[in-house]
Structure 1
């Protein structure tokens, strides 16, 4: 099973996801890093991703093989992350057959209402727990 962690900016959230996923899942899944920029990709690889790729085309191509895609909710919003998420990346993630597990992070142009505010670490733990359930069930 392939889990694609997608992030931009400095890749901090993605790196936390990678660290937690690799610790929890071990060899049950391959965690790959897909960065909107080289810094994000590098930080996710340093966090333990098995491999990584950078940029729009790499994300578009790699998503085709992913069973699960995860990252901040901005990965499905065109022009999120200060423009790093291109309309093509947002569409590719949204249209991908991969199951999506998204972390609710407010963007400067989008506010998510109806969710209780929670520390980012807790949201990441919840996402990792849900992905682990999917892997165990084989429902990705």
Structure 2
């Protein structure tokens, strides 16, 4: 199973996701770090991602190949992350047939009604648990 972790800006969320996914899933699945910038990609690779690439084309090319895509909710919104998410990136992620596990961070100008305000580590852990359930349901 190919799990794409998408992050931008400083890459901290992606780094945490990669670390926890590797810890939870081991090496049975491939984790690809897709950064909107090289810094984010580099941090995710240092955290243990199996491979990585940066920029618009990397996300546009790899989003359709992924089985699961995980990142902040901004990865489906054009111009999110202070403009790092281009319309082509957001379109590629949204159009991908991959299961999308999105972390509800309202710094992207998106507020999800009904989501309780929790600290970021809570949402990151919840995302990893959700991915574990998806993997287990697929018997992988």
TM-score, normalised relative to structure 1: 0.95
Q: Which residues of structure 1 form unaligned runs of 5+?
A: none
Q: Is 2:71 the partner of 1:71?
A: yes
Q: Distance in 2 between matches of 1:108 and 1:33?
A: 20
Tell me what 2:92 maps to: 92
Q: Which residues of structure 2 form unaligned runs of 5+?
A: none
Q: Distance in 2 between matches of 1:23 and 1:124?
A: 13
Contact 1:9 / 1:36 at 8 angstroms: preserved in 2?
yes
Shift of the 56–139 alpha-carbon distance from structure 1 to 2, 3 Å rule, reads farther
Shift of the 124–108 alpha-carbon distance from structure 1 to 2, 3 Å rule, reads closer
Q: Is 2:83 the partner of 1:83?
A: yes
1:35-50 correspondence to structure 2 within 5 Å = 35-50=35-50
Q: Distance in 1 between matches of 2:67 and 2:25?
A: 14
Contact 1:103 / 1:124 at 8 angstroms: preserved in 2?
yes
Count of aligned pairs between the two proteins: 140
Contact 2:3 / 2:66 at 8 angstroms: preserved in 1?
yes
Residue 106 of structure 2 aligns to a residue whose secondary structure is: coil
Q: Distance in 1 between matches of 2:135 and 2:108?
A: 33
Tell me what 1:9 maps to: 9
Give how far 1:101 is off: 0.2
